[in-house]
Amino acid sequence: MTAKPALIVVDLQRDFCPGGALPVREGDRVIEPINALVDLFHEKGLPVLYTRDWHPKDHVSFKPNGGMWPPHAIRGTPGARFPPTLHVPHGAAIIDKATSRDAEAYSGFQGTDLAERLRRSGVEELYIVGLATDYCVKNTVTDGIAAGFRLKVVADCVKGVNLKRTDSATAFRSMKGKGAGRTTSQQLLKQLSGRVAVWSSS
Ligand code: VGL
Ligand code: ZN
């Protein structure tokens, strides 16, 4: 395996963790295994990119505006921040999305320069972690594959909203059907720590 990988941390924000405005059950449990991956990618000089749900305060997805969600991830508020325990290397790329009032954007690729950034740094393979499996993870995965990236979901590093109990399982099936692979943080750590850097550092 010589393709240059990147780690994409999807919407790991306080509002999606227990105690937040739109909490994902056990959403905070993914932080520890994600930190281990962030540290190793960073150590290897591999890109780590973070997407953020970054809504205006009157976003169309909010219930008072006819949407389906309680107000959440309002830009500049504490709930939109990363949890204090999440590792974010200095200089890591942060991609804000769903920033305009009238459009929902679950995917980190939608209306952003994420694909260009990845291509510019020679990335061919994506490892996806974060929240939530059944919305922003699923849509980011779908768009990432459509953009031509090889991609794997790190199963122990994602959690779903599960409005319906089975939504995460359905999302996994849908992602697999589109060509997404699946791995675990243990597998990825093992694979990557033994790998000599052969990719360009551009
Ligand atoms: C998300 C619901 C609303 C997510 C964002 O990050 O998965 N879910 N906005
Ligand atoms: Zn949102």
Tell me, letter by letter, the H, E, C secondary structure of 68-116.
CECCCCECCCHHHCCCCCCCCCCCCEEEEECCCCCCCCCCCCCCCCHHH
Cα–Cα distance between 70 and 52 in angstroms, integer?
Answer: 17
Which residues pair with residue 159 across a beta bridge?
131
> 104 CB less than 6 Å from ligand 1?
no
Average pLDDT over residues 129-147: 98
pLDDT, mean over the chain: 96
Cα(164) to centroid of ligand 1, in Å?
15
pLDDT one-digit tens code per residue, 48-86: 999 999 999 999 999 999 999 999 999 999 999 999 999
**CA proximity to 37, closest of 132, 154, 124, 134:** 154
Q: What is the pLDDT of residues 174-191, one digit of tens each?
A: 999 999 999 999 999 999
Task: Give residue 191's pLDDT.
Answer: 94
Q: For residue 100, what pLDDT is reported?
A: 97
- Domain range 5-193, CATH class: alpha beta
> What's the pLDDT band for 44 if we cut at 50, 70, 90?
very high
Is 70 exceeded by the pLDDT of residue 197?
no
Which tokens belong to 63? 């219930």
For CA atoms 115, 148, 170, 192, the dihedral sign is negative
pLDDT of residue 199: 62
What residue has token string 């290397």? 89
- 11-38: pLDDT as tens digits: 999 999 999 999 999 999 999 999 999 9
Active site residue 136: yes
* Tens digits of residue pLDDT in 157-170: 999 999 999 999 99
Structure tokens at 21: 């405005």
Distance from Cα 22 to the centre of ligand 2, integer Å = 9
157 is catalytic: no
Cis check: omega of the bond before 36, within 30 degrees of 0: no
Of 126, 138, 112, the residue nearest 41 (C-alpha): 126
User: d(Cα 199, Cα 182) in Å, to the nearest integer?
Assistant: 22
- Per the residue annotation, which of 136, 143, 157, 159 is the catalytic one? 136
Least confident of 91-100, 127-136, 188-197: 188-197
Cβ neighbours, 10 Å, residue 71: 20
Whole-structure pTM value: 0.96
Domain ranges of the chain: 5-193
Q: Is residue 157 within 6 Å of ligand 1 at its C-beta?
A: no
Res. 202: pLDDT tops 50: no
Tally Cβ neighbours within 10 Å of residue 61. 22
Reply yes or no on whether 11 is catalytic: yes
